[in-house]
């Protein structure tokens, strides 16, 4: 069974540009969550999608957005990039919640560098 796939693995962008990251969840998983990891703030929740709907959102500015497609694949977009957006962006895939015992499986991440 294939794991969570994130593309691209590495990305370098210039301040002010926008970027789109992609995540393909484990087959059969319908929940996709995104996290940002930085040395200063650690791992922080961005948002979660289930059945093409955003169910939860973290405390990030509106420049960060996402969407989920009917095949559960998800994309996140960051507009007007800032230097502080440089981070490892991780996607997690979760099976539909059942009795609140759900394991989240992560992809390898996309390393975004803003210059």
Partner 1 sequence: SQQGEEDPQALSIQEGENATMNCSYKTSINNLQWYRQNSGRGLVHLILIRSNEREKHSGRLRVTLDTSKKSSSLLITASRAADTASYFCATDDIFGNEKLTFGTGTRLTIIP
Residue among 83, 81, 74, 79 at smallest CA distance from 33? 74
Do residues 8 and 111 lie in contact, with contact meaning Cβ atoms separated by under 8 Å?
no
Do residues 20 and 6 lie in contact, with contact meaning Cβ atoms separated by under 8 Å?
no
In whole angstroms, how close is the CB of 27 to partner 1 at the nearest point? 17
> CB-wise, 75 or 106, nearer to partner 1?
106
Dist CA 103 CA 85 (whole Å): 27
In whole angstroms, how close is the CB of 16 to partner 1 at the nearest point? 25
Residues that bind partner 1 (CB under 8 A): 4, 6, 31, 33, 35, 37, 42-45, 48, 50, 55-56, 58-59, 88, 90, 92, 94, 97, 100-109, 111
In whole angstroms, how close is the CB of 103 to partner 1 at the nearest point? 5
């Amino acid at each position: 069974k294939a794991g969570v796939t994130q593309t691209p693995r590495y990305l370098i962008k210039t301040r002010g540009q926008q970027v789109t990251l992609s995540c393909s969840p484990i087959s059969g998983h319908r929940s996709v969550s995104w996290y940002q990891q930085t040395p200063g703030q650690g791992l922080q929740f961005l948002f979660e999608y289930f059945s093409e709907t955003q169910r939860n959102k973290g405390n990030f500015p509106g420049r960060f957005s996402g969407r989920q497609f009917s095949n559960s694949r998800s994309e996140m977009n960051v507009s007007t990039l800032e230097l502080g957006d440089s981070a490892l962006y991780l996607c997690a895939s979760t099976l539909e919640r059942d009795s609140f015992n759900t394991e989240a499986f992560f992809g390898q991440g996309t390393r975004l560098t803003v210059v």
